[in-house]
Amino acid sequence: MLNSLIESVKGKPGLWWLPISFIVFYLDQLTKSMATESLKIYEAVHVNTYLNWTLMHNEGMAFSILADQSGWQRWVIGFVAIVIVVWLLIWLTKTTTKQKFLNLGLVFVIGGALGNIYDRFALGYVIDFIEAHYNEHYWPAFNVADTAISLGAFFLILDLIFGEKDEDKSS
């Protein structure tokens, strides 16, 4: 099995970065499992002045958009996310190993998206548990997958600014 995986990755240098996606997925699912086992839903556990652990179930998408819908959003959001992951994987096959920011951005977004897709299809909601705040101003709860997606977007922006500018760069 390992040999077939190596053969499928040969000639597609960007795919060598893909294990990072699996690490992100694993860490996301591990932390969500730990949060589910150790926290009570909607009860904040104070960590410090700016951070709480608060288990929440998000049936919508970012910032709980569409969370009040009848359930159709679970499937639509999930399938749109799958299409995006497939598109990102195709993009990854066209990159070179030298395109570090681009590859990191793609694999972080892929890993994070897979973590949230798994939750959405397996549970019907995404588990969030990290709650950042300043005084009484709270940022919507998030998870490791959301953090990876944000970090991936940051690396994609860095690639736009500092990445290779020649004609051989994948689009």
Measured distance CA(23)–CA(154) in Å, rounded: 18
Angle formed by the axes of helices 19-38 and 144-162, nearest 10°? 150
Residue 151 neighbours by CB distance under 10 Å: 17
Measured distance CA(81)–CA(59) in Å, rounded: 14
Residue 121 gets which letter from DSSP? H
Collapsed DSSP state (helix, strand, coil) of residue 24: helix
Q: Find residue 52's DSSP bridge partners.
A: 46, 131
- Residues annotated catalytic, as ranges: 128, 146
